[in-house]
């Protein structure tokens, strides 16, 4: 498309960015507010960060959330990559429609339904086989893997569809076995997509409140569950401080991921150019 | 494993090698498909049948708090107990009916507002220079990665009676008393539009990026006015993006729980919140399950349409 933007479109894009970022920027500014009442400005201060770092309940929740997020991201990346490969590269197979449906549905399924259904599954399983004996880390992780893998599969499918099969076909023509092609060519080329998928699964897990609240048990307070119970009773200055740390952390992670993907993308383009020339 | 099979196959004829290869290939193909398939069957599909089953049970003061569908006491064949009371109750109690309607109303209006704002933003991003385009796209995606809960919380600070917007308006002198903006339907609309906007913009962007600009030029050359070109050329061509984006906003927004709970503060009826309360505050699991089943039935059609478009988009790319 031609690079022309009418005044109206420029205005809408600018207004959209203001709409997106002003609430977040204000949240960050108010985390440095001395006043105990969030909207009343009482001068710059880092006192709420001090309050934050002294809370033991918070550190327990952070540790639980991080452990769940890491295990979830790892399993979701493995399962999501397998699912993406199956959908894009395997043509037709029995149950493909059902499989595709189950891969897309978690993306749009209302969280209350997913949460309730998983909880009822865990309770039924406990009655039948005695597992999971208590709800917490394991049940939350399983629930998170189930919806995260769908997001990973979307990223992998897009990447597989975008990267074409030229290199794979060249390797097969030169006599490489299909399994070797998968290990030596497809997976390394998928690596940036898998890294992006891992990060997305990681942040989705750190972020999830509703599903976690359904499938958690006593003592299983993740970070969002803790934050939620604190803000249910109103605005809290130390939550602003926590929000600032989380937002900046995620922004840094995403920026690094974008940089890695950009460099990888450039390298793959060069590889493809060479493959096409020869 | 592949190495050893390959070595032994050298002994055989070409035909044997090909057969072995095909067999091995189909073996790892099966593994690749079966592992995620079983996971989804067990943890995504099976739970829905359990929800369906429990929605047909009765509330019982016990752990777990519902009656069994199969009654084994008499020996021999189990008696099947199906109780449709929960569904009857949903139908008869006007609270549930009103809540479903209100959820649909709120999510339809929010989807429409998202489309009205998101469409020109996506179009504006597509028409930007290559570097600006990447930066803007990154700026749209970034909020999607930051905590949903905290983005909703940020609006509590903006909309409160003593919040930033009211303070600003009073300071300017536009109003004397704070306008009530938090804990009502207005706040819920703001929250949904704000948090779901990226879901509208990204599919629209992906769709518009592939548009053929020469069609617009051709229309202009043939004397079509810009508004005319927009409604007759651009809009029909971006329909797949509009449908995908709208469904991505509409479906989850209908079952939204956090936004009506935090920004609506109990004054706004939405089905996700009612389901959660039925489940946690009233511990009526059979009724909560029936609420979930009805919500699912309402959303099955839009979900199927979404999947159809998603499948077509993937096929088009491959």
Nearest residue on chain A to B129, judged by CA atoms?
Answer: A3
Both B41 and B96 in one domain: the answer is no
Beta bridge partners of A114: none
B207 contacts chain A (CB < 8 A)? no
Both B99 and B177 in one domain: the answer is yes
Find out whether the peptide bond into B38 is cis, omega within 30 degrees of 0: no
- The parent domain of residue B260 ranges over 86-317
Structure tokens belonging to residue B218: 């051709």
**How many Cβ atoms are within 10 Å of B308's Cβ, its own excluded?**
12
- A212-247 pLDDT, tens digit each: 999 998 878 999 999 998 888 767 788 889 889 988
- Which of residues B32, B55, B78 is at a domain's end? B55
Average pLDDT over residues A191-212: 91
Number of domains in chain B: 2
Whether B103 is covered by a domain: the verdict is yes
Q: Answer yes or no: are the C-beta atoms of B272 and B256 closer than 8 Å.
A: yes
CB-count burial class (<10 Å; 0-12, 13-18, 19+) for A119: buried
pLDDT value at residue A40: 73
Whether B62 is covered by a domain: the verdict is no
**Inter-chain touch B139–A123, beta carbons under 8 Å:** no
Residues 56-95 in A contacting B (C-alpha not used; CB under 8 Å): 79-80, 82-83, 85-88, 90, 93, 95
Both B150 and B284 in one domain: the answer is yes
Whether B70 is covered by a domain: the verdict is no
**Percentage of residues in chain B having pLDDT higher than 70:** 83
**Inter-chain touch B142–A39, beta carbons under 8 Å:** no
Set of chain A residues whose Cβ sits within 8 Å of the Cβ of B303:
105, 108-109
pLDDT value at residue B175: 87
Return mean pLDDT, chain B.
83
CB-count burial class (<10 Å; 0-12, 13-18, 19+) for B147: buried
- B199-236 pLDDT, tens digit each: 999 999 989 988 877 888 888 888 888 888 888 888 88
Both B96 and B47 in one domain: the answer is no
Q: For residue B10, what pLDDT band results from cuts at 50, 70 and 90?
A: very low
Within 8 A by CB and 6+ apart from A190, the residues are: A81, A156, A159, A160
**Inter-chain touch A224–B147, beta carbons under 8 Å:** yes
pLDDT value at residue A1: 41
Set of chain A residues whose Cβ sits within 8 Å of the Cβ of B123:
9
Whether B79 is covered by a domain: the verdict is no
Name all domains of chain A by residue range, CATH numbers in brackets: 57-234 (1.10.3720.10)
Both B147 and B242 in one domain: the answer is yes
Backbone angles phi, psi at A9, to 5 degrees: -65, -40
CB-count burial class (<10 Å; 0-12, 13-18, 19+) for B26: exposed
Nearest one of A209, A226, A80, A54 to A146, comparing CA atoms:
A80
Both B96 and B164 in one domain: the answer is yes
Whether B80 is covered by a domain: the verdict is no
More confident residue, A102 or A250: A102
Structure tokens belonging to residue A132: 């999971």
Whether B41 is covered by a domain: the verdict is yes
Interface test with B, best of A116, A127, A252 (most B CBs within 10 A): A116
Interface A–B counts its CB contacts (< 8 A) at: 267
pLDDT at position A178 over 60: yes
Q: For residue B8, what pLDDT band results from cuts at 50, 70 and 90?
A: very low
Average pLDDT over residues B2-20: 51
Set of chain A residues whose Cβ sits within 8 Å of the Cβ of B122:
none
Nearest one of B46, B201, B15, B212 to B125, comparing CA atoms:
B201
Nearest residue on chain A to B262, judged by CA atoms?
Answer: A232
Both B186 and B310 in one domain: the answer is yes
Whether B66 is covered by a domain: the verdict is no
Distance separating alpha carbons of residues A198 and A196, to the nearest angstrom: 5
Give the relative orientation of helices B94-126 and B271-280 as an angle to the nearest 10 degrees. 130
Distance separating alpha carbons of residues A210 and A216, to the nearest angstrom: 10
Both B264 and B172 in one domain: the answer is yes
Whether B64 is covered by a domain: the verdict is no
**How many Cβ atoms are within 10 Å of A170's Cβ, its own excluded?**
15
**How many Cβ atoms are within 10 Å of A128's Cβ, its own excluded?**
8
**Inter-chain touch A110–B307, beta carbons under 8 Å:** no
Nearest one of A14, A38, A15, A18 to A28, comparing CA atoms:
A38
pLDDT at position B67 over 60: yes
Q: Answer yes or no: are the C-beta atoms of A185 and A171 closer than 8 Å.
A: yes
Beta bridge partners of B149: none
Highest-confidence range of A31-45, B67-81, B226-240, by mean pLDDT? B226-240
Tell me the CB-side half-sphere exposure of residue B235, using CA atoms within 13 A: 9
Structural element, H or E, at residue B122: helix B94-126
Tell me which residue in A107, A113, A157 faces B296 most closely, judged by beta carbons: A113
Q: How far is CA A275 from the centre of its chain?
A: 34
Nearest one of B287, B119, B203 to A12, comparing CA atoms:
B119
**Inter-chain touch A243–B129, beta carbons under 8 Å:** no
Within 8 A by CB and 6+ apart from B315, the residues are: none
pLDDT at position A175 over 60: yes
Instruction: Tell me the helix, strand and coil percentages in chain A, rounded to 5.
Output: 80, 0, 20
Set of chain B residues whose Cβ sits within 8 Å of the Cβ of A111:
252, 255, 257, 272
**Inter-chain touch B121–A1, beta carbons under 8 Å:** no
Tell me which residue in A39, A108, A146 faces B43 most closely, judged by beta carbons: A146
Distances in Å between the alpha carbon of B177 and those of A38, B39, B158, B180? Answer: 19, 56, 16, 9
B171 contacts chain A (CB < 8 A)? no
Both B299 and B157 in one domain: the answer is yes
What is the signed CA dihedral for B77, B83, B84, B89, rounded to 10 degrees?
180
pLDDT at position A82 over 50: yes
**Inter-chain touch A40–B121, beta carbons under 8 Å:** no
Both B97 and B48 in one domain: the answer is no
Both B311 and B238 in one domain: the answer is yes
Tell me which residue in B158, B292, B296 faces A23 most closely, judged by beta carbons: B158
pLDDT at position A276 over 80: no
Q: Answer yes or no: are the C-beta atoms of A43 and A112 closer than 8 Å.
A: no
Average pLDDT over residues B105-128: 94
**Inter-chain touch B40–A103, beta carbons under 8 Å:** yes
Distances in Å between the alpha carbon of A96 and those of A38, A39, A100, B200? Answer: 52, 53, 6, 28
- Which of residues B11, B33, B55 is at a domain's end? B55
pLDDT at position A144 over 80: yes
- Which of residues B55, B78, B99 is at a domain's end? B55
More confident residue, B35 or B318: B35
Both B159 and B36 in one domain: the answer is no
Interface test with B, best of A3, A13, A32, A119 (most B CBs within 10 A): A13
pLDDT at position B318 over 60: no
CATH number assigned to the domain comprising residue B298: 1.10.3720.10
pLDDT at position B63 over 50: yes
**Inter-chain touch A105–B21, beta carbons under 8 Å:** no
Q: For residue B113, what pLDDT band results from cuts at 50, 70 and 90?
A: very high
């Amino acid at each position: 498309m031609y690079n022309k933007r009418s005044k109206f479109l420029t205005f809408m894009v600018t207004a959209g960015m203001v709409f997106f970022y002003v609430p977040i920027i204000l949240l960050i500014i108010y985390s440095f507010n001395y006043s105990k009442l969030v909207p009343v400005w009482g001068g710059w201060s880092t006192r709420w960060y001090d309050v934050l770092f002294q809370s033991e309940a918070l550190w327990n929740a952070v540790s639980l959330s991080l452990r769940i997020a890491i295990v979830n991201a790892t399993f979701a990346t493995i399962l999501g990559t397998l699912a993406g490969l199956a959908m894009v590269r395997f043509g037709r197979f029995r149950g493909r429609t059902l499989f595709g449906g189950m891969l897309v549905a978690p993306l749009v399924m209302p969280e209350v339904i997913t949460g309730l259904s998983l909880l009822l599954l865990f309770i039924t399983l406990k009655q039948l086989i005695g597992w999971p004996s208590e709800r917490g880390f394991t049940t939350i992780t399983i629930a998170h893997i189930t919806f995260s893998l769908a997001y990973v599969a979307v990223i992998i499918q897009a990447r597989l569809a975008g990267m074409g099969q030229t290199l794979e076909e060249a390797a097969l023509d030169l006599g490489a076995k299909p399994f070797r092609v998968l290990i030596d060519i497809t997976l390394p080329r998928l690596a940036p997509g898998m890294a992006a998928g891992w990060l997305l699964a990681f942040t989705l897990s750190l972020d999830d409140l509703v599903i976690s609240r359904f499938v958690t048990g006593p003592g299983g307070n993740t970070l969002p569950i803790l934050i939620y119970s604190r803000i249910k009773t109103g605005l809290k200055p130390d939550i602003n401080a926590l929000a600032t740390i989380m937002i900046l952390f995620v922004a840094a992670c995403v920026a690094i991921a974008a940089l890695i993907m950009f460099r990888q993308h450039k390298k793959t383009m060069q590889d493809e150019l060479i493959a096409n020339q020869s | 494993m592949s190495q050893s099979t390959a070595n032994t196959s050298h002994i055989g004829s070409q035909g044997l090698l090909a057969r072995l290869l095909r067999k091995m290939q189909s073996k790892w193909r099966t593994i690749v498909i079966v592992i995620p398939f079983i996971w989804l069957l067990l943890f995504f599909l099976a739970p829905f049948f359990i929800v369906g089953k429990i929605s047909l049970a009765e509330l019982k003061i016990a752990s777990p708090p519902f009656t069994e569908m199969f009654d084994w006491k008499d020996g021999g064949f189990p008696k099947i107990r199906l109780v449709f009371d929960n569904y009857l109750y949903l139908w008869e109690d006007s609270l549930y009916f009103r809540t479903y309607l209100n959820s649909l109303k709120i999510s339809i209006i929010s989807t429409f507002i998202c489309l009205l704002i998101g469409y020109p933003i996506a179009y504006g991003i597509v028409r930007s220079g290559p570097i600006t385009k990447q930066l803007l796209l990154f700026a749209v995606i970034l909020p999607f990665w930051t905590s949903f809960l905290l983005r909703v919380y940020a609006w509590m600070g903006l909309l409160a009676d003593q919040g930033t917007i009211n303070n600003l308006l009073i300071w300017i002198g536009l109003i004397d008393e704070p306008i009530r903006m938090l804990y009502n339907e207005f706040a819920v609309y703001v929250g949904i539009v704000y948090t779901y906007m990226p879901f509208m913009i990204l599919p629209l962007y992906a769709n518009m990026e592939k548009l053929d600009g020469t069609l617009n030029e051709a229309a202009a050359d043939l004397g079509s006015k810009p508004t005319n070109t927009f409604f007759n050329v651009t809009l029909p061509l971006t329909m797949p993006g509009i449908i995908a984006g709208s469904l991505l906003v509409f479906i989850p927004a209908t079952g939204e729980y956090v936004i009506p709970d935090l920004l609506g503060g109990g004054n706004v009826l939405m089905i996700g919140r009612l389901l959660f309360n039925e489940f946690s505050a009233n511990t009526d699991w059979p009724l909560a399950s029936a609420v979930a089943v009805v919500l699912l039935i309402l959303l099955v059609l839009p979900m199927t349409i979404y999947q159809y478009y998603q499948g077509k988009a993937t096929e088009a790319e491959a």
